[in-house]
Structure 1
Amino acid sequence: MLFDGSARQDSAGAGVMLILPERLILPFSFILGETCSNNAAEYQALIIGLEMASDMKIPQLDIYGDSMLIINQILGSYEVKKEDLTPYHRYTTRLLKSFDKVFLNHVPREENRMADALANLAMTMALGENESTKVQVSHRWVIPGCLNLQLDESLHTSVRVVKEEDWIKPLIEYLKHRRMPEEP
């Protein structure tokens, strides 16, 4: 399971990616209902992922997150100093006990790009409280790299001819050549 939380001034999101042993990838994005700190968003993403894995009766879980603070607080290496994170820490610790084995791993941010993208997607989508959507991501390349291009009449370019009296001509002249119109 990969997790990531993200918080901005006006919104917060969580991204969770469950990768099952048969290489099935289940991506999830969640808009968090209230604004919060980035660390609280990270904890919420972890908790959401743990709840889903528990509901799916997954006995063993490898967890990957890019928040060194959250991972080390759960491992007991760091003390939870911020009071607002204490309930998240307690609940996470309780959830972890429902699994036979759990491995917590800190990964660099670049190795957690997919969970990060899911967290940011949730904030960007800004759906209402009871709304959801499915976003399918497919691998696709439109023009193969080794294609021998031949001219085809179906490929064409549209050209707009600017008439002398056209109102847009002075704008184009200014944008292209920085020429001001004669008439202010």
Structure 2
Amino acid sequence: MKVFVNIDGGSRGNPGPAAAAMVVTDEEGRVLATKSKFLGPSLTNNFAEWSALEGAVNALVHLAGQYGSLEAEVRADSELVVRQFNRQYKIKEPSLRKIAERVWENLAITPGLKLTLKHVPREENKLADDAVNRELDSYQEWLDKVR
């Protein structure tokens, strides 16, 4: 089985309220699942991007366990995260390094999952970006009500 996963993370204010999202599609481009998550009120964009990747890897590990094997092309509009994941750039920030180590460990212990991570322009990542923004808008609406 092959799937495509578009991921995105965002932070308004950087640091600020942050969210992560993923959209899973099949080979014909049909959306199989969309998942978004509010991460917290004061986080960086890079933390949100790495969190989106970690969430996607966790979901893919679960699917690989169910199907026995899985090929996934993960697409991100964060060139930094793609290059850090592919070990072209070092990860100096300790909190990001911890996420990366969990991601790499999860992949290492899941031989049935073949994952590639590639950079795509923001225009090709609209569904994941929209999911992040819906999550952040929802948080802002909640915040406005409780103030």
Q: TM-score, normalised by structure 2?
A: 0.78
Q: CA deviation at 1:56?
A: 2.0
Identity rate, percent:
27
**Unmatched segments (≥5 aa) in structure 2:** 143-147
Q: Deviations over 1:10-60 (max 9, x none)?
A: 411111001134644111221113421100000001111111122222621
Q: CA deviation at 1:102?
A: 1.3
Q: CA deviation at 1:63?
A: 0.6
Structure 1 residue aligned with 2:118: 105
Structure 1 residue aligned with 2:105: 94
Q: Deviations over 1:101-130 (max 9, x none)?
A: 1111111111111111111111111287xx
The reply to whether residue 32 of structure 1 matches residue 39 of structure 2 is yes
Where do residues 1-184 of structure 1 align in structure 2 (5 Å cutoff)?
Answer: 1-9=5-13, 10-21=16-27, 23-25=29-31, 26-57=33-64, 59-97=70-108, 98=110, 99-126=112-139
Q: CA deviation at 1:96?
A: 2.4
Distance 2:105 2:26 in 1: 23
Distance 1:103 1:84 in 2: 23
Distance 2:58 2:71 in 1: 13
Q: CA deviation at 1:81?
A: 1.7
Aligned residues: CA RMSD: 1.9
Q: CA deviation at 1:84?
A: 2.4
Q: Deviations over 1:121-174 (max 9, x none)?
A: 11111287xxxxxxxxxxxxxxxxxxxxxxxxxxxxxxxxxxxxxxxxxxxxxx
How many residues were matched structurally?
128
Q: TM-score, normalised by structure 1?
A: 0.63
Q: CA deviation at 1:100?
A: 3.2
Higher strand share: 2
4+ aligned runs moved over 2 Å, structure 1: 20-24
